[in-house]
Amino acid sequence: MNEEPIIVDTKPIVMDLQPGTYAWCACGKSGNHPFCDGSHAGSGMAPVKFELDEERKVALCACKKTAGAPFCDGSHSSL
């Protein structure tokens, strides 16, 4: 079953992340948003995995409309 993602917020989540591999929640159901906690099971959606090689400030999409997942591209401005 394919569902539409849930809009968590209409602005990005800006945070500093350490080097490592992350799984961004694409469905909006995670209790650990913006990161995946497995709540997408059965939705037809999957997290977007990304890796950072160095510490970096990121703006992670919370509206789930970005074309550049997991990063915000400003799509929330049209909601």
- Boundaries of every domain in the chain: 13-73
Considering the entire predicted model, what is its pTM? 0.93
Q: Is the dihedral of CA 55, 58, 62, 66 positive or negative?
A: negative
pLDDT tens for residues 16-66? 999 999 999 999 999 999 999 999 999 899 999 999 999 999 999 999 999
Give the DSSP letter of residue 29: -
Stated length of the chain: 79
- pLDDT band, residue 73 (cuts 50/70/90): very high
Q: Residue 76 and residue 13: Cα distance in Å, rounded?
A: 12
